Amino acid sequence: MNSLRRAARMGFEGVDSLFGRAFGPDWNPMYHLGTLGWFFYWIVCVSGIYLYIFFDTGITQAYESLEYITHVQWYAGGVMRSLHRYASDALIIVMMLHLLREFVMDRYRGARWFTWFTGVPLIWLVFACGISGYWMVWDVLAQYIAIASTEWLDSLGIFGQSIARNFLNEATLSGRFFTLMVFIHIAVPLFMLLVMWIHIQRQRNARVNPPQGLAIGTLGMLLVLSVVKPAVSQPPANLDRVPAVIDFDWFYLAGYPLLDHWPGLAVWALAGAGTLLLALMPLLPPARRSRVARVDLANCNGCGRCVDDCPYSAVALQPRTDAAAFSQEAVVSDNLCTACGICVGACPTSTPFRRATRLAPGINLPDMDLHELRDQLLAATESLTGTGRVMLFGCRHGPDIEWLRGPDTATMTLPCIAMLPPSFIDFLVSRKHADGVFLTGCSAGDCHYRLGQQWEDRRLAGARDPYLRARVPRERVGVCWAGLTGRSRLERELKAFRDRLWVLPPIERRKQWSVIKRIIEGEEGHG
Ligand code: HEM
Ligand code: SF4
Ligand code: SF4
């Protein structure tokens, strides 16, 4: 399963990089599938409201009113109708890609189960919106949908009398069910908005708008498509005749041909089993969870930086529960924490300069204790040789960096690159443990933990607390967001970085860490 997922992930990253070349990392649509979903939703709503002004909800008048909108008012109503249809199709496409991407990238298990789980009803709701929309046109496609859908509903056997009877022939045709469809087509999107809002509740700073450029470009494309190939109705419905040819919308109606070949109940069983399987996916199998972040009250001053930086709203501030002079303290919710370590990188107490005592930050990952991490780091840099000694940090979800380890390169892999407090970079460079520090991780703009890359970039640029201090020469800090597929790019950029280090004035070598450690341990023993 893991090798299959890895292969799929490489495939996705390959497609990402193609889009990345065309759009750049900021506008890469593959990184904005969720926000594009919101964007298409709003286009559908706005165009839908416009259409509703001119739409006649009577079953016999609906078709005529849409013909008027499409052909007489083609410059406004016609364009709006096409936008309505194409944005609905685009919503299906981005939703399915979004689902597949979150699965392949393994961003749906563990603490993230809730976001996945609340995505599942959205699939049903999107389909309900689209199908009821096609129904309202009351052309031959609507006729097919009406008959197939009502027969499918009847197969459940829970309605007192057959609903399909309403669509037996022109004489039995009743506007009652049609009016219900109009109501559904308005009520479901409103309910969907509520579910979409719930869907992103566990994401801190959830993005719901695509970047402006991507939004304008996408809208422009839809507009061009609307003018070049306007959405039109098919011949009007006539229940006394079986339509010979129907143009199908495979985005919304792909499951309908199954109803022609399978009993309705079998299709219900398939749809129900599919939904259940999808909903249970986070448990099949559950993620192997690392132990969640822990707050050490003795070192927490309640500054709230961990709260600001946590991508999953897993840390909160609460009134102090000990006798310390601070008014608040951080508290971690075990259910929400993904053990990414970003909070550790944000905490002002995570500084390696406090060397005489055990390094105990206000918040720590039990499986990646910062004190041990500092020791490992010092041990790793101690054996580095040459004038281009590089400490290379990577993240678990980015490229493998172990193969780059060598006499002049030490490596360390963190859960997320933003677990690295900038003070560690300062420490390594200003204490001359390395000539340069190089960071890599997920592809630019696609952090596995949503915000880690963004926070680390801003910390290095001095734009977000905790800052990388100005005294650290920036030419000694390199970054390459390589992603899983960017192995050779990482190698190239690391080499170029080292070449640049060689021409910088040499930095004096630090006394060996093992010697310093012996001195400290000696002092502590004496004390
Ligand atoms: C109308 C359909 C949908 C829309 C508009 C939508 C929108 C979004 C948005 C805006 C985010 C947050 C992005 C961020 O700030 O990081 C998100 C996250 C997510 N969505 Fe959806 N979504 C939809 C359907 C689905 C479906 C069908 C699933 C899967 C069943 C799903 C699974 C997820 C997961 C797992 C995340 C969390 C990713 C993470 O933790 O990094 N979504 N979605
Ligand atoms: S960042 Fe550190 S000191 Fe500040 S509230 Fe969080 S744990 Fe406490
Ligand atoms: S490790 Fe820290 S930043 Fe990451 S989810 Fe847990 S509390 Fe939030």
Q: Is 80 left (phi over 0), alpha (psi -120 to 50) or beta?
A: alpha
User: What residues line ligand 1, using a CB cutoff of 6 Å?
Assistant: 34-35, 37-38, 95, 98-99, 102, 107-108, 112, 115-116, 119-120, 122-123, 126, 196, 199-200, 203, 206-208, 278, 450
Token pair 């649509």 is found at 29
Residue-level pLDDT at 515: 53
Which residues touch 129 (CB under 8 Å, ≥6 apart)?
A: 44, 88, 185, 188, 189, 192
Q: How far is the CA of 301 from the centre of ligand 2 (A)?
A: 6
Q: Is 314 in the pocket of ligand 3 (CB under 6 A)?
A: yes
Q: Are strands 409-414 and 390-395 parallel, antiparallel or unpaired?
A: parallel
pLDDT surpasses 70 at 378 = yes
Pocket test for ligand 1, best of 31, 38, 89, 115 (most atoms within 8 A of CB): 115
Instruction: State the closest ligand 2 atom to the C-alpha of 328, by its place in the atom list counted from 1.
Output: 5
| Token reading at 130 | 């689209």
Pocket test for ligand 1, best of 122, 338, 451 (most atoms within 8 A of CB): 122
Quickly state the pLDDT bin for 164 (edges 50, 70, 90).
confident
Quickly state the pLDDT bin for 429 (edges 50, 70, 90).
very high
* pLDDT tens track for 430-489: 999 999 999 999 999 999 999 999 999 999 999 999 999 999 999 999 999 999 888 999
pLDDT surpasses 70 at 502 = yes
Q: How far is the CA of 273 from the centre of ligand 3 (A)?
A: 34
> Exposure string (b/e) for 236-260, b if CB count within 10 Å is 16 or more?
bbebeeeeeeeeebebbbebbeebe
Residue-level pLDDT at 505: 73
Q: How far is the CA of 294 from the centre of ligand 3 (A)?
A: 9
User: What residues line ligand 2, using a CB cutoff of 6 Å?
Assistant: 295, 300-306, 330, 346-347, 349, 362-363
pTM listed for this prediction: 0.91
Average pLDDT, the chain: 91
Stretch 222-233: mean pLDDT, rounded?
Answer: 96
Give the Cα separation of 249 and 63 in Å (integer).
18
Q: What angle do CA 504, 506, 509 make, to 5 degrees?
A: 145
Q: Is 315 in the pocket of ligand 3 (CB under 6 A)?
A: yes
| Token reading at 32 | 């904005």
Pocket test for ligand 2, best of 300, 313, 464 (most atoms within 8 A of CB): 300
Output the residue whose Cα is nearest ligand 2's atom 4. 303
pLDDT surpasses 90 at 148 = yes
Output the residue whose Cα is nearest ligand 1's atom 39. 107
Residue-level pLDDT at 190: 97
Quickly state the pLDDT bin for 288 (edges 50, 70, 90).
confident
Q: How far is the CA of 320 from the centre of ligand 2 (A)?
A: 12
Stretch 75-99: mean pLDDT, rounded?
Answer: 97
Quickly state the pLDDT bin for 2 (edges 50, 70, 90).
confident
Percent of the chain scored above 90 by pLDDT? 77
Range scoring the smallest mean pLDDT among 86-90, 388-392, 515-519: 515-519
Stretch 502-511: mean pLDDT, rounded?
Answer: 67
Pocket test for ligand 1, best of 39, 114, 116, 199 (most atoms within 8 A of CB): 199
Stretch 83-90: mean pLDDT, rounded?
Answer: 98
Q: Is 364 helix (H, G, I), strand (E, B) or coil?
A: strand
Q: How far is the CA of 328 from the centre of ligand 3 (A)?
A: 18
Residue-level pLDDT at 527: 33
Give the Cα separation of 340 and 290 in Å (integer).
9
Quickly state the pLDDT bin for 525 (edges 50, 70, 90).
very low
Measured CA distances, 86 to 58, 210, 481, 525 (Å): 25, 18, 35, 74
